Amino acid sequence: MSRKSLLFMALFAAGLLSAGSSVYAISGAGAIALEFPIGARYNALGEAGTALSQDATAMWWNPGGLAFATDVHSGRIHAMQSKLVPDLADDIAIYWGGYVGRKWGGSLGFNLTYLSMGEQLATSDDGTPGENFTSNMWAAGVVYGTRLSPNLGFGIGFKFFRDNLAPDNVLQDKQGGSGSTFAVDAGVLWKVPSLKSNFAVAISNLGPNITHVDADQSDPLPRKITFGAARSLMHSEATSLLFVADMLVPLLSWDDAADDYGLGLDFGEKEWGVGLEWSYVQSLFIRLGYKKGTGQIEDMTWGLGMHMGRWVGQNITFGFASVPQAKGLKNVNRFSIGYDF
């Protein structure tokens, strides 16, 4: 087996793609493409954004935030790209794109996630090399958010997920190389102007297990509940300072009787992130954060942002974030671009 094939097997066996690149890595879960936080801004802030995201990325963080996404702008677009293990393989990367617009008295959004897992080499039991093949995962979603009151937003979303790990003809049993399922997300975001704060809770990836061979060998989705808070610490015409924090608790608990994961809170696997964002005239942004997750993840995050409206008269935003991986691996870079109209 080639070095690259060995790498591919090791990444999935150890959960490195999720545990290494994201604070939101839920052990025991499949469908890892659903776990990578979206948006360079929130990645830089300790991978926290449940109470802060109110743009197109709210479709990932908290559908409740989508209720406020089109207050000023009638349409918003966001895209993100990130290589996941650049020091080990150059063709494993996550891509995300989303659009949100005004509809039905609220905000309606569509998004697509694509995880490229690169090219692999099939080998027989005796080590004879076979054909090359590519592996990927993708998810398509639709999300709607609306206000229940002037300061309370609620949202709900539906997504379809599919993975294509390997063509069936290269597998020993000639089956199980692909699988699909669906999931529901929901959340609320509450703004408290008197406290200059937002509070939020979101539930993500509630859906049937993903099955490749049979139900006994299926994998649960990365079900989770996330609690978030954000507070403005300082705001003037020239500068501002914002604090954000998230705590995630997996909705996966091991059931000994069923010998499988069930629906329940697992506080032993909880994860959290905090961050600070400083801005200059709401055009230049410096972001710092700290995250603590699974897989020996406990480190700083940081990033930069720019809003181009002051210079080009268009609501174009750029974002960069650097987030830690598993111990011994280099940081991962995330790049985002957004446009509001």
Domain that holds residue 28: 3-340
- In DSSP terms, 198 is beta-bridged to 191, 230
User: Among 39, 42, 60, which Cα is nearest to 202's?
Assistant: 60
For the segment 263-298, what is each residue's pLDDT rounded down to a tens digit?
888 878 899 999 999 999 999 999 999 999 876 678
Q: What is the pLDDT of residues 218-239, one digit of tens each?
A: 889 999 999 999 999 999 999 9
Burial 10-46, CB ≥16 within 10 A → b, else e? ebbeebbbbbbbbbbbbebbbbbbbbbbbbbbbbbbb
| Residue 258 neighbours by CB under 8 Å, 6+ apart | none
Around 21, how many Cα atoms within 13 Å sit in the side-chain half-sphere? Answer: 28
pLDDT value for 70: 97
- In which band, very low, low, confident or very high, does the pLDDT at 25 lie, cut at 50, 70 and 90? low
Range 212-216 average pLDDT: 74
Q: How far is CA 106 from CA 54, 73, 153, 249, 279, in A?
A: 13, 12, 10, 29, 29
pTM of the entire structure?
A: 0.90
How many structural domains compose the chain? 1
CATH for 188? 2.40.160.40
Question: How far apart, in whole angstroms, are the C-alpha atoms of residue 251 and residue 253?
Answer: 7
Measured distance CA(123)–CA(15) in Å, rounded: 22
